[in-house]
Amino acid sequence: MTGPFAAPTPRTRLTPAAQARRHARNVGPAAQATAIHPEYAFDTTTGPLASIFTAIADWVEEGVPDNTKLKDDLAWARWCEYCAILKTAPWRMDRPAHSGGDPAGFERESQLLCGFLIWCHSIIKPRSKTDAAAKPESSYAMVHAVRRTHRSKNVVMVSCKQLGLIFKGLTARHIAEHGADSLLPHRKEPIDPPLLRRLLQVASVDSRKVDWASPLFISLAAAFALAGAAGFRKAEVALPSSTTLDDHRLRRSSLLWRIDGTIVADPAPELLRAMVSGRDMAIVKPPCAKNDPDGTTFGAHPIYLRYSSVDPANAAARLRTLELALPCRGAERRAHALFVVDANLKAMSHAVIDEHLARLLRALMSNKEASRFTFHSFRIGFACALLEAGCSYDMIQALARWKSNQSIVIYARLEPHAYADWVDKAMLQSTSSTTARDLPTINDDVRVASFAQAAAHFEREGAATIEDT
């Protein structure tokens, strides 16, 4: 379909079969025949506006983050399998039953969802080999996704206390068999500024010299330094598998410069070479993110990074090196990713960044120690360094773009020099896993309580609809 009413092009490249399954989920069930007063009837299948109605489901899906779509795909496949076993329809469009207007239907739909929760818990395997069993939270996520899919078709599925009670029961059994510790998240260790500097000075990996002057490693160094100085997420600096460049990733046009008091969007090489330590800055505009899908909260307020020619982990210096070694001018800045793998400016992928980070870490420590770090460790390290520098929790959330009512207010008021000052202070710190535990402390009781709160969602929905995110 083409033209002004065409459906949006999917951002994620799926196999034809997977795309067909997702499309079937998006479109939903066939419209049920109901008596409509002739005055209000209209044809959605023919005429000049037919493509609009065909595209409604696709436009609804366009606003859903890619990771959520993948989770919904998996949950819907499991739901269809479960319903096929029971020989019943996966689309539950009986609104009187869900609302309680039909008591018998309400009981039927309640039983169906309760059974699905237990069935999922019986088939889901643990995500990690170190886990003895899957956490009940994984089964709850499947129910949550099925409810979310129905809501996209204006159907609020049945709410019942039984679901919450079953969830609590599954959690209690899990704790009895595997201990409360098994519910704790597997936290990664922070990559603090000292470890970041060591990473950027690794000379060889697996007996091979690391060429920090190559396009790949110039980009990797800049990505690591930026993540360590501003807490960027992997999804913001590199492309997930089977995706194309979009507004959720940093582009070259996301990078601006403040040189001798003037903001420059497309600096000439001689201007970059004339930069002065302590005076000039790199300016990075955050891309859209899951907690800021339209970029109006954080994307409207750039990140300021003061330039230093002496610190190997200085993000502005690493970005300056990238600009000089891999020039990208004019309109091309919008067309290319900020971090690339070669001189042709091919966008960096998650797989590439994960592979090389792991190899560099293994050059500094044992394989077991290296496994405790991921790209997210830069974000944790940034937050830990801010905490060591005396930064308040609300300010840490603002600088790391964690969305809360207070952090949004602080972030909107941050002046360029204040932002850069906090980054400079953070880069002077040395942190540890002890610091990470203070971001904030999470103990067994808190973790178990979060499960109880999640279970209470089901009970509260009887009085008020929950907003799925």
The predicted structure's pLDDT at residue 8: 65
The tens digit of pLDDT for each residue in 402-430 reads 877 676 677 667 788 888 999 999 999 98
Q: Is 93 helix (H, G, I), strand (E, B) or coil?
A: coil
- Contact between residue 399 and residue 419 where contact means Cβ atoms under 8 Å apart: yes
pLDDT band at 174 (very low <50, low <70, confident <90, very high): confident
**Type of residue at 243:** T
What tens digit of pLDDT does each residue of 196-214 get? 999 999 999 988 999 999 9
pLDDT digits (tens, 9 = 90+) for 299-320: 778 999 999 999 999 999 999 9
CB distance 254 to 284 below 8 Å: yes
| Helices then strands, each counted (H, E), the chain | 21, 6
Q: Does residue 33 or residue 245 have the better pLDDT?
A: 245
DSSP reduced 3-state for 332:
helix
Domain chopping of the chain, boundaries:
16-185+450-460, 193-437
Instruction: Determine contact, residues 296/259, Cβ cutoff 8 Å.
Output: no
| CATH top-level class of 193-437 | mainly alpha
Taking the C-alpha atoms of residue 12 and residue 9, their distance in angstroms, rounded to an integer, is 9
Query: What pLDDT was estimated at residue 186?
Result: 65
